[in-house]
Amino acid sequence: MNLYAYIFRRLLYIIPVLLGVCLIIFVLFNLVAPDPAYTLLGKHATIKQIADLHHELGMDKSYFLQYVDTVKTAFTFDFGYSWTSKQNIWEMIKAGAGPSLAVTGPLFVFANIIAISLALLVAFYRGKLIDKFVLILSIAGMSIPSLAIVLFGQYVFAYKLGLFEISGYEFGFPNFVPYVILPILIYIVISFGADTRFYRTVILDEAYQDYVRTARSKGLSELKVMFKHVLKNSMIPILTNIIIQIPGLILGLLFAENFFSIPGLGAMTINAINNSDFPVIKAMTIMSAVGFIIFGVITDVLYTVVDPRMKLK
Amino acid sequence: MAGKVLEVKDLVVEFRTDRGTVKAVNGVNFDVFKGKTVGIVGESGSGKSVTALAIMGLIPNPPGRIANGKIFFNGKSLVDMPASEMRKIRGNKIAMIFQEPMTSLNPVFTIGNQIEEVIELHQPHLSRSQRTAKAIDMLRLVGIPSPDKRVNEYPHQLSGGMRQRVMIAIALSCEPDVLIADEPTTALDVTIQAQILELMKKLQKELGMGIILITHDLGVVAETCDTVAVMYCGQIVESADVDTLFNHPAHPYTKGLMDSIPSFDSTSGHKKERLQTIEGMVPSLFDLPNGCNFQDRCSKVTDACRGINGDPVLKPSKGEGHYVACYNPLN
Amino acid sequence: MSTEIKQSKSLLHNALLRIVSEKISLTALIIVGIYFTVAILTSAGFLAGNWGKEIGSSYMAPSSVSYFGTDIFGRSVLLKTVKATETAVVIGIVVSVISIVIGTILGMIAGYFGGFIDEIIVWFYTTFSSIPNIMLLVAIAFILGKGTTTVFLSLGLTSWVGLCRIIRAEVMKHKEREYIHAANAIGATHSRKLWKHILPNISHLLIINFTQTFDSAIKAEVVLSFLGLGVVGRPSWGTMIDDSKLELARGVWWQLASATLAMFLIVLAFNILGDALRDALDPKLKGK
């Protein structure tokens, strides 16, 4: 099966997956979820008011039609209106995406660069003291709850030491920069452990392969062996791991946006939860799933392009 | 001595494990001559591969190290050579091919790239096009058809036999004086095996290099080697030229190995007999007996073999160049 | 270079011996043991039974009266932390069991039967994993509302996919192995082959996965508590950490410190154990 057939098949597979995702979301939000009538209308709602509400929300349609509606929104991104703010949800998403990306964008870049560099360093010096030190640091980092690190970071560095803004946000570059530095730093610390360990494992997996022994037996220096042979092979799983992080960027960081008052999509989600704002949560779920699916395909296709073993099968 | 390319003297290689330090190679001596093939035979764990890695300077450290002994290449000592100098010899003057052709090539680089890499490393004066031309020549030399096309292909597009040929091409690109082949045909079909061995013999004639052929297959030894060293538990128990070894084995282990080859030859008298085996199992290197390591499996064991006299040392046996380490040799 | 290793003991037994013999992993094992013991004692009422009692004034700093200080209601932070240990252990175990059961059964069925059944299961877990974990967790918890059952279900339903994939791959490999052909030759049924033959060969994956799921469940509980969707009626480290977000501005740090420390130790211990188990049980893992 050649490359194009594979890509086509892969794209086709999106459909059943998307339908399945909509099914899960539909089951959650339309079947399992409790009737929102009383939350929206209050305890003394009359039967007529409830019926009107049901009609307005499309809940009096058959389950199948409700499911179809869900699928439609996945394609049109027409999520309706927020129950609390009455705003068009898609507009809300567009407004919130910027601030979220202001934090997650740079975080994505720096966190990965740091983790990959450290992993390379540690793979090169494997077994030595620095390897063990970084490993301990990574495992320790992975064991502290992220909320604690956020709280601690904000408390110590912004509040007590006054090095950074405690909270707030200004739109537009470079205005937002002072507000996002601390959250970015904090999350680099939070994700550093897991990221570094993952990349280290990937790189070491390659480092113990037979072809590395062959490279050494040619007389290549250790440096060359690592950076030419091991790295190129490691790049394949590393890149796929990096690419799959991209759709998540737009969701923003729940804790950070809440504590640092950054008006991104994470904060929007938290508000929606506190206010039982169904449509917003549903919209976020659908949108993130669609993003995930698309980037999943991109990753798979990229894999086939980058790995010569996949080119002709 | 004329033509002696490599000399291994009293080589000892240790590995530190969580169960203690173990000697994977314990006092190994042999010489390699130009244009001649030395076979190193033994079961898995006998130390043959470790010997090869020690010569190449590829013993992973940690956990291993060359604890004792010397290795001389054209008179130069390799054991205490600085790493940068050793890298000039590795792949250049002493080259190695390994057992697993399927995984020994880097899957993301082309065949040509991987051959050119070693040429570029040791012959930097050549231009890019000269390197490619040489790579194509090497592929032709090892018998790969349409080498100019193959040069741009990836390893997964080649069969196991072809990949091993590529490995040989890489190893010979810089015209080494010594080629170490660690079980080069074990992972290949029998027919391909024959082809690869033929190829190696032919190239040896053309290039005049010394070959160390490591194998557990006595048939391969009989066909290709000039001299043979039999290893057991990290030591050489017998060494001789190939005819002497096969016709007059002096060590009971060697004889056991020979006898265990099933034979269809009615004249050898093995017509309808059971397959012969060597009783017992190879002892763990952590748990070697006092005295001769083979004592618990030997049909000719005597009291001298156990204990106080220590490990038997290689002593000359009947015939020129025949050595055996045994307290009760067969001749 | 290879040495003979006598395999007279089972792989698991060997692994345990290895773990006990190394100081770090032994310490981790002991820590896990301590936490589980505390949890059992607490649930039986022997420990921290009176965690809800006021023992001093609001927000007392750590002192000889209360080692870890008090919270807003004057309750002992130390006792709360101990009681929360029980919560954490229960959450860890229940969630892991849910996720392992779902993941293993689906993975085994998919890997073993192949064909259409496999396609369905693969489609199922692909859709599940297409929704980013946080979002799915939030969505499920949001729908189910506050409460301990929500915590169990939402965490359990979002952690099974990873194991399912691994199990499926392993079972597919094992299906082709000789011992299954042998079992076939003596007329074993599907069920027998799956449960008696294949399962023991993949059980090490379950154990390793347990340590990982336990950890991620405890950490995720903090997220749920933060969103107001955590456990009700009993202290948990998540709620304690969440409460502390208001306390910090007043300089009250001890609840955060206590909960974080308690959680850190057990998560770290399971992390180390998981690694040690993986090294000991997964024969394919090379070079450490």
Supply the ipTM of this predicted assembly.
0.86
Q: In this model, does residue B4 exceed pLDDT 80?
A: yes
pLDDT at B120: 93
Is the pLDDT score of A45 beyond 90? no
CB B7 within 8 A of CB B72: yes
Closest chain B residue to the Cα of C4, Cα to Cα: B284
Q: Which residues of C are less than 8 Å from B17 in CB distance?
A: 3
pLDDT at C2: 42
Which of C127, C142, C256 is closest, CB to CB, to A21? C127
Per-residue pLDDT at B283 exceeds 90: no
Q: Which of B89-98, B256-265, C115-124 has the lowest mean pLDDT?
A: B256-265
Lowest-pLDDT range of B93-97, B280-284, C8-12, C255-259: C8-12
pLDDT of residue B282: 84
User: Are A211 and B105 inside 8 Å of each other by CB?
Assistant: yes
Range in A154-163, A287-296, A302-311 the model is least confident about:
A302-311
Q: Say whether residue C23 is in contact with chain A using an 8 A CB cutoff.
A: no
Select the more confidently predicted residue: A173 or B127.
Answer: B127
Distance CA B74, CA B90 (A): 14
Angstroms from C183 CA to nearest CA on chain B: 29
Other C-beta atoms within 10 Å of B228: how many? 27
Looking at chain A, the whole-number percentage of residues with pLDDT higher than 90 is: 16
pLDDT in tens, A179-230: 888 889 999 999 989 899 899 988 988 888 999 999 999 999 988 888 889 9
CB atoms within 10 A of CB A162: 9
Given a cut of 90, is residue A160 above it in pLDDT?
no
- pLDDT over 90 at B19, yes or no: no
Chain B hits for C2, CB-CB cut-off 8 Å, are 44-45
Q: pLDDT tens string for chain C (288 positions)? A: 344 444 445 677 777 777 777 788 888 999 999 999 999 988 888 777 777 777 777 777 777 777 788 888 888 888 889 999 999 999 999 999 999 999 999 999 998 888 899 999 999 998 888 888 888 888 888 888 878 888 899 999 999 999 999 999 888 888 877 777 787 777 777 777 777 778 888 888 898 899 999 999 999 999 888 888 888 888 899 999 888 888 887 878 888 889 999 999 999 999 988 888 887 776 554 333
> What pLDDT was estimated at residue C8?
47
Q: What contacts B104, CB < 8 A, 6 or more positions away?
A: A210, A211, A213, A214, B97, B98, B163, B167
> What pLDDT score was predicted for residue B265?
61
- Which among A217, A233, A308 is the nearest to B96, CB-wise? A217
Q: What is the mean pLDDT of residues B30-41?
A: 93
CB B161 within 8 A of CB B99: no
Contacts of C1 in chain B (CB under 8 A): 15, 24, 45, 47, 49-50, 64
From chain B, the residues in CB contact with A216 under 8 A are 58, 90
pLDDT value for B266: 54
Percent pLDDT > 90 in chain B is 51
Contacts of B50 in chain C (CB under 8 A): 1
Q: On the CB side of A50, how many CA atoms lie within 13 Å of its CA?
A: 11
Q: Residue A251 in contact with residue A264, Cβ under 8 Å? A: no
Q: Give me the residue label for tokens 């998919």.
A: C110
Which pLDDT score is estimated for B272? 63
**Which residues in chain A have Cβ-Cβ distances shorter than 8 Å to B95?**
217
Q: What is the pLDDT of residue C284?
A: 55
- The pTM for the full model equals 0.82
Q: Inspect the interface and report whether the beta carbons of B285 and C1 lie closer than 8 Å.
A: no
Which of A209, A215, A221 lies closest to B103 in CB terms? A209
H or E stretch at A40: helix A37-41
- Give the residue among A245, A267, A242 at the shortest CA–CA distance from A254: A267
Interchain pair C4, B45: CB under 8 A = yes
CA distance C153 to C162: 17
Across the interface, of A127, A218, A232, the residue whose CB is closest to B118 is: A218
Q: Is the pLDDT of residue A114 over 80?
A: yes
Residues C46-84 as b/e (b if ≥16 CB within 10 A, e otherwise) read: ebbeebeeebeeebbebeeebebbbbeeebbbbbbbbbb
